[in-house]
Amino acid sequence: MSRYFTEDHEWIDVDGDTATVGITDYAQGQLGDIVFVDVPEEGKELAKGDEAATVESVKAASDVYTPASGTVIEGNAELADQPGLVNEDPEGDGWFFKLTLSDTSELEELMDETAYAAFVSKL
């Protein structure tokens, strides 16, 4: 499995043509306590960069963009009752949605873990 990152602080884990998307630990730290998450519905078609989800914290509301194009196969239903999972495990159980990728070449434009760490260190 490969993990990539965006400059908007989303991560995407890729396994074949299936991907899981969430926000990074850095992003959840900037947001503070997460109180609401709205994930996309199964079957929704997303193009790279589309608004895919919304996350609200005690500080602000933010959009979550899809790092790659595809069709949503699952939204993380647990986040409806437990939005704090995003704070507790942002790069694990706090994932937002899964999708079937339509163009894996889009991943080439994203950062790997080393590049993302360097990007965050300059913020």
- Rg (C-alpha) for the chain, rounded Å, is 13
Q: C-alpha 104: how far from its chain's center?
A: 16
Which backbone phi and psi does 53 adopt, to 5 degrees?
-150, 165
Residue 63 is assigned to a structural domain of this protein? yes
**7: helix, coil or strand?**
coil
What global pTM score does this model have?
Answer: 0.96
Tens digits of residue pLDDT in 33-84 = 999 999 999 999 999 999 999 999 999 999 999 999 999 999 999 999 999 9
Residue 85 parent element (H or E) = helix 85-88
Which CATH number covers residue 100? 2.40.50.100
Check: CB of residue 13 under 8 Å from CB of residue 99. Answer: no
Number of domain units in the chain: 1
* CA atoms of 73 and 99, how far apart (whole Å): 5
Tens digits of residue pLDDT in 82-119 = 999 999 999 999 999 999 999 999 999 999 999 999 99
Among 25, 121, 9, CA closest to 62:
9
Domain that holds residue 37: 2-106
Residue 113 is assigned to a structural domain of this protein? no
